[in-house]
Structure 1
Amino acid sequence: MRTVFRGRAVVGGSERQAAVLVEGERIAAILPGDAALDAAEVRLAPDEVLIPGLVDTHVHVNEPGRTEWEGFASATRAAAAGGVTTIVDMPLNSLPPTLDADSLDIKRKAADGQCSVDVGFWGGAVPGNESELPGLLAAGAFGAKCFLLDSGVPEFPPLPDPRGALRALGDGVLLAHAEDAAFIAEAHGTRYTDFLASRPAEAEDSAIARVLAAARETGGRVHIVHLSSARAVPLLAEARADGVRVTVETCPHYLALTAEEVPDGDTRFKCCPPVREEANRDLLWRGLADGVIDMVVSDHSPATPELKGTGDFGSAWGGIASLQIGLPVVWTEARRRGWSLAAVVERMATAPADLVGLGHKGRIAVGAAADLAVVAPDETVTVGALAHRHPTTPYAGRTLHGAVRGTWLRGTRIDPDRPHGRLIRRGDT
């Protein structure tokens, strides 16, 4: 089957007119926009742009065990609706957590046949499971995630010292939720300022320094998840310049939201680490522009309305639901700051794909998977009904730029009623 997409496309880091020829599941050629081709045609409207399908490497699907929080069917429908064609599921909040090859197999069986997009899996690193980590990688996990403090669920305890996990993983990557419990205080009540003060930037900065020291000592590869403290950016830049193998992500909520706008009692905004002040947000954007922060992924972490909407920032579940709307959230703020759509695509598609070694995804290039999305970057959308199981989100009612009008997985347009996503493994090409 041959299909040609004609119109503006993000190719090679810039936007230009092109004819993108798809043969089967791969991109076969990228030609001038008026090239004559014998193929079925998808002609983009003048206000549309063809982009690679986004790759979201930080998604909490929660199935099996807490499927009432989300689930593979609903999460991947939401992903497809948002132009995301590949997600990587986090190892905790499901029961059992993904801590060995057997639990990874349980997770894969739960996902099988339900997925509208391709799905991969992270393993977990907890005290005492270092010997399981090589087997997790061999079974297809893309790496392992650890918490340096209480994760919020008892079956996934913290790993205060990551050196053993780094050695066990070899060339595999260790993802670190980096907050230091020594700097965190208990906070209850409806005042967001109290919650923010209870999880200061020092908690992140201290924990990140500990992770970087472990990586220096072991030579291991680390990835800092959901960076919210811009104060850590110089520390990360220095470590990378010194040869430490570290990559860094931040999330839409840290780039779009500010502490100053969070209403008291509105626990839809609660996440850990927290949304910080406007000045901090500006510095995160600078770190993203300078390349110290490599990528933007959702940290989609939903929960039931009962757990999320208590009004008490101390007891409400911490997590932002945004898998479906990550692109318009980031693009709305990026365009205001003069960013190009191609630069956003680099951080939301190419860089996350490279993190997990999926060099054939996250880009429009000859030989790459025909994972594509059609976006109208100037069209506004108001956040209303979402395909997440629970559409509780701080973005509800917001008007954003960037409408996703269609998503293709391996050359076939995604139909949520006929899911054809695959379960992918480390090393897939």
Structure 2
Amino acid sequence: MRVDAVRGRRVLVGDTFRPATVVVRDGRVAAVEDLDHDVAGEVLEAPDAAYVVPGVVDTHVHVNEPGRTEWEGFASATRAAALGGVTTLVDMPLNAIPPTTTVAHLRLKQAAARGQLAVDVGFWGGAVPGNLADLAPLWDAGVLGFKCFLSPSGVDEFPPLDATELRAALREVARFDGLMIVHAEDPAVLAAAPQRPGGSYGDFVRSRPHEAETAAIRLVLDGARETGARVHVLHLSSARAVPMIADARAEGLPVTVETCPHYLVFAAEDVPHAAPQFKCCPPIRDAGNRDDLWAALEAGIIDCVVSDHSPATAEEKGRGDGDLQQAWGGIAGLQVGFAAMATEARRRGIPLESVARWMTRNTADLVGFGHKGRIAVGADADLAVYDPGVDLTVDATALAHRNPISAYDGVRLRGAVTHAVVRGDLVDRARPDPAWGRQLERE
């Protein structure tokens, strides 16, 4: 159903919640009026206690189609997104087969997505050994930047860059002012760490120590300093890297940083034994580290929060029968990420407007989507209604992503996304429409 306005007593306009009526025309925000502004047509009335925020822009999602669609696909991923208030997502270049490392592979990805999107979707390209000449054509074809790994990615078709290859890729990306986004774990540190098999999450964390992140991030920052390339650190889990990132910012290096809800909600000491649904790389760390990540967010050193939704089949997640060294690493949390963040922020006394900024405007700005992630005249009419009075206990089997496995299973959320609007279309929660979504290119 098309809506002509969304009205609420707590609408996030700029950095402040205030009573407002958001007038919608042709899929965009036509005006932001007073609460009692009269609008002809369909008006979505938010409950008095609910908040109206911009639709979440999740810039880190593994859709895996084509090639590994049994892990996740565009239809299931975007349906989960829509139900969780995510109105725009950006697809990672792996774990699809083929990966998005050439223009031809990008076209295959775009063809696979056609007609399956319940929300808007953009695409990252990939930087791997041997595809240096493909980076500029991919940029010209509309990708939003390039992902690389510095350690093995987990799939053979997306190998990591060594230090020399990283420098070459950064120089090339700097030439056309692109963006390099980096999975920053150092392979030498990982190789030297103890790799004890079994179901102990503590042992798994020790196999991916803080130093793996800090060493790799230092390499990335040195590369940015040398080449002038814009760099973005993906899924920061170690707060020990925060001081060097702050120093790099003070130096003027063009670096941005993200973290994820699972690093901010969970703590390693609370993870059950042999629970591969919690395995991710880099890992969930201890509660003190979690507190430090929240502090870095509040200080503006970490810019944004994204899901890093990386689901897999039960067979892959259960590989090794509880051995965390063998199980596939990835957290499935696309549908519940915003509500989980809002719940934890509320517990910590952090205002919802901060959570919204980290997950909407800041992520939209990262990829240059000035028409997303804000409630402002001319922006896309992408909106979510979050009601803190609706308690929800997550049931992984009821989530819309393809495989019913999630670290959030059984977690009680104090609040839920009850409505979402994608460019003026109200999401039918019973059946999000795959005709709503558009494929986005770099502006």
| TM bracket, shorter-chain basis | over 0.9
What residue in structure 2 maps to residue 332 of structure 1? 343
Equivalent in 111, 119, 131 of residue 121 of structure 2: 119
CA shift digits 1:103-153 (9 cap, x unpaired): 000000000000100011000001111110000011111000000011111
2:182 matches 1:176:
yes
Equivalent in 3, 10, 17 of residue 12 of structure 2: 10
Partner Cα separation in structure 1 for residue 392 and residue 67 of structure 2: 34
Contact 1:64/1:94 (<8 A) preserved: yes
CA shift for structure 1 position 35: 2.1
CA shift digits 1:45-91 (9 cap, x unpaired): 11222111000000000000000000000000000000000000000
Contact 2:60/2:90 (<8 A) preserved: yes
- The DSSP-based 3-state class of the residue aligned with 1:336 is helix
Q: Letter of the aligned partner of 1:203 in structure 2?
A: A
Partner Cα separation in structure 1 for residue 216 and residue 432 of structure 2: 44
Equivalent in 285, 289, 292 of residue 301 of structure 2: 292
Partner Cα separation in structure 1 for residue 196 and residue 426 of structure 2: 47
Equivalent in 128, 136, 141 of residue 138 of structure 2: 136
What residue in structure 1 maps to residue 200 of structure 2? 191
What residue in structure 1 maps to residue 263 of structure 2? 254
CA shift digits 1:20-41 (9 cap, x unpaired): 1111111011111112333432
CA shift for structure 1 position 224: 0.2
CA shift digits 1:301-353 (9 cap, x unpaired): 00001111231110000000000000111111111111111110000011010
What residue in structure 2 maps to residue 421 of structure 1? 437
What residue in structure 1 maps to residue 408 of structure 2? 395
Equivalent in 266, 274, 278 of residue 269 of structure 1: 278
- The DSSP-based 3-state class of the residue aligned with 2:4 is strand
* TM-score normalised according to structure 2 size: 0.95
2:359 matches 1:348:
yes
2:373 matches 1:362:
yes
What residue in structure 2 maps to residue 30 of structure 1? 32
Aligned length: 427
Contact 2:3/2:426 (<8 A) preserved: no
Contact 1:69/1:302 (<8 A) preserved: yes
Equivalent in 211, 224, 236 of residue 215 of structure 1: 224
Change (3 A) 1:2 1:54: closer
Partner Cα separation in structure 1 for residue 328 and residue 36 of structure 2: 52
For structure 1, which runs of at least 5 residues remain unmatched after alignment? none
Contact 1:381/1:399 (<8 A) preserved: yes
Partner Cα separation in structure 2 for residue 369 and residue 417 of structure 1: 18
Equivalent in 365, 386, 390 of residue 399 of structure 2: 386
Partner Cα separation in structure 2 for residue 59 and residue 316 of structure 1: 19
What residue in structure 2 maps to residue 408 of structure 1? 421
Change (3 A) 1:298 1:17: same
Q: Letter of the aligned partner of 2:415 in structure 1?
A: G
- Which has the higher mean CA deviation after the structures are superposed, 72-81 or 180-189? 180-189
- The DSSP-based 3-state class of the residue aligned with 1:10 is strand
CA shift for structure 1 position 418: 2.6
- The DSSP-based 3-state class of the residue aligned with 1:167 is helix
Contact 1:230/1:284 (<8 A) preserved: yes
CA shift for structure 1 position 100: 0.8
Partner Cα separation in structure 2 for residue 266 and residue 379 of structure 1: 28
Partner Cα separation in structure 1 for residue 388 and residue 405 of structure 2: 25
Contact 1:256/1:333 (<8 A) preserved: yes
CA shift for structure 1 position 417: 5.0
Equivalent in 312, 324, 346 of residue 313 of structure 1: 324
What are the residue-to-residue correspondences of 1:82-161 with 2, within 5 Å?
Answer: 82-161=84-163
Contact 1:2/1:24 (<8 A) preserved: no
Partner Cα separation in structure 1 for residue 411 and residue 90 of structure 2: 27
Partner Cα separation in structure 2 for residue 243 and residue 48 of structure 1: 40
- The DSSP-based 3-state class of the residue aligned with 1:190 is coil
What residue in structure 1 maps to residue 69 of structure 2? 67
What residue in structure 2 maps to residue 237 of structure 1? 246
Q: Letter of the aligned partner of 1:180 in structure 2?
A: D
- The DSSP-based 3-state class of the residue aligned with 1:213 is helix
CA shift for structure 1 position 167: 1.7
Partner Cα separation in structure 2 for residue 226 and residue 187 of structure 1: 24
- The DSSP-based 3-state class of the residue aligned with 1:208 is helix
- Which has the higher mean CA deviation after the structures are superposed, 53-62 or 41-50? 41-50
What residue in structure 2 maps to residue 377 of structure 1? 388
Q: Letter of the aligned partner of 2:181 in structure 1?
A: L
2:243 matches 1:227:
no
Q: Letter of the aligned partner of 1:145 in structure 2?
A: K
Percent sequence identity is 57
Partner Cα separation in structure 1 for residue 303 and residue 202 of structure 2: 29
